[in-house]
Structure 1
Amino acid sequence: MAVTKSVIVTGAGSFLGEYVLKALDAAEIDTIALSRQAVAACRRYGLSARVKPVDVDLSAPRLNWSLPLDRPHTIINLAFDRMVANSSAHGAEINERLTRNVLRLCRASKDSKIVNASSMSVYGKPEGGLVSEDTAPLFPSDYGIAKLQAEQLFADAPEVVSAVSIRLPALLGRDAHSENWLVRVAQSLIQNEDLTYSSPDFRFNNAVMASDVAMFFVGLAMRDTLPPDVRVPIGSAPGPCLADILEQMRSDLNSKSRLKILPSKTSSFGIDNSAAKKLGYRPRDVMETIKLFVQDFAQNA
């Protein structure tokens, strides 16, 4: 008889964690949800009994929870500290502990596969064009360096048979983080504030819906086999230029804001989805992505 798969989700209380857990629950997949306040988060999400929350601090020096060994597990790793500018050294230490504790879970698992939420920040400051899996990092931030280190630790660990790191752009959806550029744009538009931007002809695709990422992660977690070490970026499917996207956002939000174009000081870059498509990723058109985000934003404003 085939062994039923189950999934462990770290960072269960995060913004993306809610979408991933709801997608796993809807797919009727047995799930263990880990975070410091997993029980409260899962209650808030309204999940079924197939999602088992466990309150555990994965950033602690000593992990105080053991993995049940009744079946194979795949880990969807979302746990990571945001590393605010004034505490980057402390954040780097936390993130290394998080990563090593995830590896401790892998040592106890019968199926050591990891689907890891990485970040476009690993690329640093690309010099325009399209960013792909082959693009070399160029002066990444402290956060980007920490993400690269986590990717490498997972790839090098002998107890991990497969580590797939998905390098995420801006995540959109209900309660998207206020540091997100598009969230700040929407806030300005809904308050009728003038908006300045550059690169109006740039075919922007550096954003995805969190719900789409969740479905992609769940699909990866349920695959029987995954490549041993893959690190790929994802974005929306390119569409109109940035000027048209912002004009559409202004119209959808009934905004009276004026849009002003400034000279660009840096090269804009897009995201090549080719490698991710080979793993089953199906990018949504960027204009549809933006429209869905604006609908969510307007409802919650």
Structure 2
Amino acid sequence: MRLRGAGNMREVVPELTDIKTSLKTKSSLSRTQTCRLLFTWRIMQRILIGVFLQLFQQFTGMNVIMYYSTSIFKRIGVASYISTSVVGALNFLTTILSIVLVDKVGRKALLLLGGLGMILSMTGAATVLLVFRVEEEEGGGSVAGYVTVTLICFFVFNFAYGWGPVAWVVTSEIYPLKIRGVAVSITTAANWTGNFIIALVTPILLNSVLRTFGTFYLLAGLLLLATLFVLLCLPETKGESLERIDKLFSKPWLERIDLFYYLRLGCPWGVRRRRSYSVTSGNQLQERDGDRRVLLQEEMGPENGAELETVEATFVVETPSPTGYSISSLNESNN
């Protein structure tokens, strides 16, 4: 109730029921059944998404900055202890901001925005280092050196509201509860594997012919791959119940990721949905957990006259109204 708010009791109860049911199922699964379930395609594709999200989180290069910031800032020629403190404080404060944004903006949106911001900042920092030869001149507190530090701070800012926390949010909610513990363990192992690779390879890259600017260009390329992966493989799970997430992953790939979702959402000239509700039949009124519910048909489609999609919805009804029922909440399910 604290998470959903006191006014959303009727939305919390079905979700709580789903969780209890999943926990009972989980406790009844043997080790063999769990392994078989993990290797079904519907579950395996989610595990692969979680594994790649965690690997890409490490390959964004955030830990390159966090682990080797002192060395990098010395190469640039700025006060390393001050810059490192600023980076740490910025990371902490912006992560708090993501707590507010993740349920308002959406998981996929934050990953895409954060990815684009990191690509721009990392490419910009690498270009400044290359063009002005900051490393060759050992920085010396030059303007180019401070511009590079500013771009690195912008990189950290974008990571802290996007890939830092949101990758963990997504990998904690896309799995069914009955195998969530095992699945999250696998994706966490992928994260630490990526962490180990970054810690091992970064000193080699920084001291090779690539130097700092080449390493930054390499990270920008990996960030581009990570952003494309999110765009093409990850569905938006903001506001979805456990049941609806399961249904989401059972849909065809293009329908699941909905490439034009944010275009429709953000553009006034984009496709809009119109909604109309009507009771399909009187015998669909039913009793459930003390609440009277009635099944309605929802027609959704573009205003330009294209075919309408029919969605079955369950309205919680309390008292009769002049039109038949007083509707207090809605639970939709796509057919």
TM-score of the alignment, normalized to the shorter chain, above 0.5: no
> Highest CA radius of gyration, 1 or 2?
2
Question: Which structure features the higher share of strand residues?
Answer: 1
Question: Which structure features the higher share of helix residues?
Answer: 2
Length-normalised TM-score, structure 2: 0.23
